[in-house]
Structure 1
């Protein structure tokens, strides 16, 4: 059976099928259309409920007479400026815990020993190229045969030995990039008495129960309770709560092995010769764990050095001063 042609409901049938009265009306309409076209309506009226709220301006619409947009990357950096450190942090190894005694009061203070291992500046991240300001720090040492070629080229461009650990530390502005690429930063970067934040991966404890992982008290130990002394109990209701376990329910599971930040630790001692920084309190992670140490966000920024030239040992400064004096004397005598 051949297909049928579609019907055009918007068109009139042929004129010979229309009555004579209708044909005369169509001719009159065509004449009026050619003489004076009717004005068209520029809008379409829609019946709806009138809102009492004024329309909100689009926050993405920009105009020169309006204030700067708050959704740009520049505005985002300005909002974070108050909590972005002025200078870079360093990488350290956790060597263990000990205690120090105050010679005046005899008070014993628990502390953690952190050792810096050849911290060098590998690269700078700039706002115009990377979108933010940061200093890339490398620590430790690694054999070149165990490094990929792209990373070997990255280290060769900075003229530093291949590093075992790498980390980026964000800084507020370009003033935080005063440590040049390839320079070594030692323990004198931190001063005695200042506050620091430490961040590391916590010690992994494997699969643990609810009592150890979340501090549950457990079930009763008597009155017919059997084999549920350390159980967590009910995991969720039935019909009243949707017959399911609500998201975020605290249960048994993997404990530890996650990023942990300990804030506001005071620096008790600094040993530049051995690269030792002693901080008050505990630090996350096992021994020999890599630790990120940076100026504390919750305390006023320390008046610490911004360049490596400001942390040069006193004997080096004295030697350089005497050498300059000798050169000045020789030039004056000449």
Structure 2
């Protein structure tokens, strides 16, 4: 498995040859630099660390500055490790979108939008208590009964209730690559990708 780091630009639609309009996401992916190559002999496992995005030296710790100088590159904002990286990768190698082919499928990982404190209908997809008949009043989006009575006289852990939702690491699999623009470092993939605009996206293929 190999991959690249990018930023979500936003969503648009593409018209296909058969007349369909497909919702798609634009991702500015790379160029990324290989900042570390881990091996079983030195680190206990095989992995490739990749860096993306420029960062000022004054905002970088001295230990990280030395880390980036080994790779002969400038400080990077985002570092991600990829296990079992396909092909041979050397320190300082540059990874671009040219490695992606139209028609191939990728997995996209991002942090979903935070929704704040939400009720059970939005958070878990509950249907609410029901209509206004049979004595129901102002309970359309309420959770309803939560079960336990005199036994076991407690609420079980993990019961789905209202609370903070969103802001989680989400992986969406099997998104088709519709277009590749190497000169602009752009990938156009089908469907939606988790996260807000300008948020980081990890792409695995």
Give the TM-score category using the shorter length.
over 0.9
* Gaps in structure 1 of 5+ consecutive residues: 1-84, 296-334
Question: What displacement does 1:157 show?
Answer: 1.1
Corresponding pairs, count: 204
Per-residue deviation at 1:236? 2.9
After TM superposition, give the deviation of residue 141 of structure 1 in Å: 0.3
Q: Which residue of 2 aligns with 1:95?
A: 9
Runs of 4+ in structure 1 displaced over 4 angstroms?
A: none
Instruction: State the 1:224 CA deviation.
Output: 2.7
SS at match of 2:58: helix
Structure 1 pair 177/133, CA: closer, same or farther in 2 (3 Å)?
farther
Q: Is the 2:8–2:27 contact (alpha carbons within 8 Å) kept by the matching residues of 1? A: yes
Aligned partner of 2:188 in structure 1 is: 278
Higher alpha-carbon Rg: 1
The corresponding residue for 1:159 is: 72
Q: CA deviation at 1:117?
A: 3.8
Alignment counterpart, residue 195 of structure 1, candidates 69, 82, 105: 105
For 2:70 and 2:188, how far apart are their aligned partners in 1? 33
1:1-334 maps to which residues of 2 (within 5 A)? 85=1, 88-102=2-16, 104-171=17-84, 176=86, 178-220=88-130, 221-240=132-151, 242-295=152-205
SS at match of 1:273: helix
Return the alpha-carbon distance in structure 2 between the equivalents of residues 183 and 128 of structure 1: 21
Unpaired runs of at least 5, structure 2: none
Determine which structure has the larger helix proportion and give its number: 1
**CA RMSD in angstroms, aligned pairs only:** 1.4
Higher strand residue share: 2
Q: Tell me if the contact between 1:138 and 1:163 (Cα under 8 Å) persists in the aligned partners.
A: yes
Q: 1:113 to 1:223 in 2, by over 3 A?
A: same
Are 1:236 and 1:246, in contact at CA under 8 Å, matched by a contact in 2? no
1: CA distance, partners of 2:166 / 2:193: 14
RCO comparison, higher one (Cα < 8 Å, 6+): 2
